[in-house]
Amino acid sequence: MGRKLDLAARMKNPWFWIGLVSVALTALGVDPRSLVSWPALASCALDVLRNPVQLATAALAVLAVFADPTTPGLCDGAACGGKQAGKAGQ
């Protein structure tokens, strides 16, 4: 059983990007008002890379944005064998 995400469809959807950015900023605990310059952004990124808990939390939050909640596992529609969550016995 292959695990395939329809990344092209996600990349074209503006709501995917809104969700991805907002979840990442929230998971990282970033205050957007503090990112007023490129050096401040670089400093924030380095702080996250130095903190394994914050980095892992951010990675899991981003993974949650990619996951399709209507299918089991990390795949989309037909790539999951055409079965959607809640319809396995039908």
61-64: long-range pairs with CB below 8 Å, 24+: 61/23, 61/24, 61/26, 61/27, 62/20, 62/23, 62/24, 62/27, 64/23
Query: Considering its fold, how many domains does the chain have in total?
Result: 1
pLDDT in tens, 70-89: 777 777 766 676 554 444 44
pLDDT in tens, 14-31: 888 888 888 888 877 788
Q: Which residue has the higher pLDDT, 73 or 39?
A: 39
* Residue 69 burial (CB count, 10 A): 7
Structure-token pair, residue 18: 């809104």
Residue where the block lists tokens 């993974």: 63
Domain boundaries, position 44: 31-66
Instruction: Please report whether residue 46 resides in a domain.
Output: yes
Instruction: Please report whether residue 6 resides in a domain.
Output: no
Instruction: Please report whether residue 82 resides in a domain.
Output: no
Instruction: Please report whether residue 48 resides in a domain.
Output: yes
Instruction: Please report whether residue 88 resides in a domain.
Output: no
% of the chain beyond a pLDDT of 90 = 7
Instruction: Please report whether residue 53 resides in a domain.
Output: yes
